[in-house]
């Protein structure tokens, strides 16, 4: 039994090490897909159409403007997730007085009993951890309001970059859907008897770009729908799995407040990867250390 446990721990360690090693490869893969798509849409199909004049030029211009806008927002959101620390427990952090009175996170039953709730403690980091905080085996540290470790962004998704991750999914879905729609006529032409203009290289790039963007649009749509439901219930991927046996969720404050805890209260910042200074000042939950809960839970 001891050998089995040791082997399992070693396998998990090797798996986490492999995920760390994927870092630059995944970023290059994302940029490679962007590059192939840019070549197919801008340089091969719709860029040359600008010189045709008339309605074709107007259509091409509209498509290119929308394409570049969504691409800029996608890359801005993507690198915001990649470069933003998801949130770590501050050094020498200690829980607030409400947690000391026993109002700690109901998850992780190994860390409390039914009679006396105790402060949550990470055995791997050897330090107390705030509510909704979890240890990431890939990053090797506790992450505030951890959702998951994403290999595509080479980072953990947590309290400080979850909004950026959602915006990345949102703009990725819009961009890949747009590319799929505008390249669909060219894709259909492959299966017709008409002669298709272009070199074998440009035709292959168009075909590949359509297939890749269609696949990403469908997959990202699934993730986006899932995370919209998580935001509506003010929960994370980890919490959604853990609270299946926990009954009511103490942090579900209603859809409007749940949404604001992720995107902020300032509507001007809802669709960009950032927060207003006022929101950062008046909403401590954006920092990942404190989260309001339902009054009926606070009174228990």
DSSP, res 44: I
| 89, 158 contact by CB (below 8 A) | no
Q: Which of 133, 136, 142, 150 is catalytic?
A: 150
Separation of alpha carbons 109 and 215, rounded Å: 40
Residue 150: active-site member: yes
Which residues touch 165 (CB under 8 Å, ≥6 apart)? 77, 81, 147, 150, 153, 157, 227
Separation of alpha carbons 47 and 29, rounded Å: 24
CB atoms within 10 A of CB 53: 9
Separation of alpha carbons 12 and 17, rounded Å: 9
Separation of alpha carbons 138 and 88, rounded Å: 14
Separation of alpha carbons 270 and 268, rounded Å: 6
Enzyme catalytic residues:
150
């Amino acid at each position: 039994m001891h050998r089995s446990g040791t082997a399992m721990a070693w396998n998990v360690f090797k798996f986490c090490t492999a995920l760390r090693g994927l870092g630059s490869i995944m970023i290059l893969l994302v940029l490679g897909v962007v590059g192939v798509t840019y070549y197919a849409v801008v340089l091969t199909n719709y860029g040359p159409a600008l010189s045709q004049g008339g309605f074709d030029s107007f259509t091409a211009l509209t498509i290119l403007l929308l394409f570049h806008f969504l691409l800029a927002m996608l890359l801005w959101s993507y690198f915001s997730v990649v470069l933003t620390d998801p949130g770590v427990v501050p050094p020498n952090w200690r829980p607030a007085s409400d947690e000391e009175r026993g109002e700690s996170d109901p998850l992780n039953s190994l860390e409390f009993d039914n009679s006396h709730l105790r402060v949550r403690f990470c055995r791997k980091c050897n330090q107390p951890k705030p509510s909704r905080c979890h240890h990431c085996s890939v990053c090797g540290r506790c992450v505030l309001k951890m959702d998951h470790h994403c290999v595509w962004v080479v980072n953990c998704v947590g309290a400080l970059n979850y909004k950026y991750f959602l915006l990345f999914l949102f703009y990725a879905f819009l961009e890949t859907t747009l590319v799929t729609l505008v390249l669909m006529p060219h894709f259909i032409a492959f299966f017709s008897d008409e002669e298709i203009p272009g070199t074998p290289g440009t035709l292959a790039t168009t075909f590949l770009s359509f297939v890749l963007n269609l696949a990403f649009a469908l997959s990202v749509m699934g993730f986006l729908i899932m995370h919209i439901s998580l935001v509506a219930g003010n929960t994370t991927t980890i919490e959604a799995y853990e609270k299946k046996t926990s009954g009511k969720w103490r942090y579900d404050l209603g859809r409007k407040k749940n949404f604001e805890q992720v995107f902020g209260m300032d509507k001007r910042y809802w669709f960009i990867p950032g927060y207003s200074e006022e929101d950062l000042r008046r909403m401590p939950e954006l920092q990942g250390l404190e989260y309001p809960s339902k009054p009926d839970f606070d009174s228990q």
